[in-house]
Amino acid sequence: MQTKYIDEEIKYEGFQLSPHWIYKNFNIQGDSIVAFCGECEVKLGEMVDIEDVINNEPIYSKSMLSFISEQFNIGLVEGVLRQRLLITVIKEVLEKRGVHVVRDGDDLFYDGRKLSVSIATKSATSVLIHTGLNIISTGAPVKASGLSEDIGIKDIKKIALEVLDRYSKELYDIVQATTKVRGV
């Protein structure tokens, strides 16, 4: 799993959750995950989560840390499991810093308010995952919390780099574990 933190701000609008977006924009081919910060505004027309569309719940954050991953040769169920693994890695990284967060499925909550958004979907060639953590909660359409504004985390890039590294290592370790056992 190749990783990259992108220093430039990118507004996440949903269209980035598409096949080969990482390859076309950052020349990273194959299984990969990138992270970046910027505003997040996903209107209903770009929403992948049909439940959110039905409930008329667009996504907005004045500032969000986004992770986008593209992974090949897996099915959607495995993709959702990998999405949940990413959420768990984020939870562990935050808890290591003394931040108590609650995971409910693919969502993280801090102080009873939503800290994250996350979705996994399947394209014709890959599984795509977007997970975002609010940096600033002001202006969100739901009761939200933010890494900087509410939790007090200032070094967002350091958090992102640790998540990228740990997630990549977890997936590598999982594959390695399959190579050390004999069949029965």
CATH of the domain at 25: 3.30.930.10
List the pLDDT tens digit at each of the 184 positions of the chain: 999 999 999 999 999 999 999 999 999 999 999 999 999 999 888 888 888 888 888 899 999 999 999 999 999 999 999 999 999 999 999 999 999 999 999 999 999 999 999 999 999 999 999 999 999 999 888 899 999 999 999 999 999 999 999 999 999 999 999 999 999 9
Write out the residue range of the structural domain in which residue 75 sits: 2-178
Whole-angstrom Cα distance, residue 69 to residue 106?
15
Number of structural domains the chain divides into: 1
Decide if 18 is inside a domain. yes
Decide if 184 is inside a domain. no
Decide if 141 is inside a domain. yes
* Structure token digits, residue 6: 């992108």
Could you tell me where the beta strands, DSSP code E, fall in the chain?
2-5, 32-42, 59-72, 102-104, 107-110, 113-114, 116-122, 126-136
Whole-angstrom Cα distance, residue 86 to residue 82?
6
